Amino acid sequence: MDKKSEKQLEEELKDLKVKHGTVYSVIVPLDPDNADDTATIYLKRSNRIITSAVRKTAQSDALKGVETALKSLYIGGDSLAIVTGNDYAVQSCESAVVEILSVQEATLKKN
């Protein structure tokens, strides 16, 4: 489970943007005692099916929901196994997953 170099990550990100449009970069801390130990993963925008599955899973187990989202949205970067194999890393991804799955609220106007 090797991590990629900065140059490899930059080149991959360019390709992924062409292929997927919106790409989210998530810098994941891997060790609470070492702020420099991180992994970079790239996630795509969620869709209705993925969002529904994640929400259903998260009802019974929030971390399983985060892991489901990561596995469904992952499109590149460092190996996802580096993140999913580390409980601290999965917990660290929770806020990023929530942000990706959130949508802008519609505005209701009475005419």
| Tens-level pLDDT at each residue, the chain (111 residues) | 679 999 999 999 999 999 999 999 999 999 999 999 999 999 999 999 999 999 999 999 999 999 999 999 999 999 999 999 999 999 999 999 999 998 888 999 998
pLDDT (0 to 100) of residue 64: 94
pLDDT (0 to 100) of residue 1: 63
Q: Residue 69, Cβ neighbours under 10 Å: how many?
A: 26
- Give 3-state DSSP helix, strand, coil % of the chain, rounded to 5: 55, 15, 30
Strands 74-77 and 38-44: antiparallel
**Euclidean distance between CA atoms 68 and 57, whole angstroms:** 8
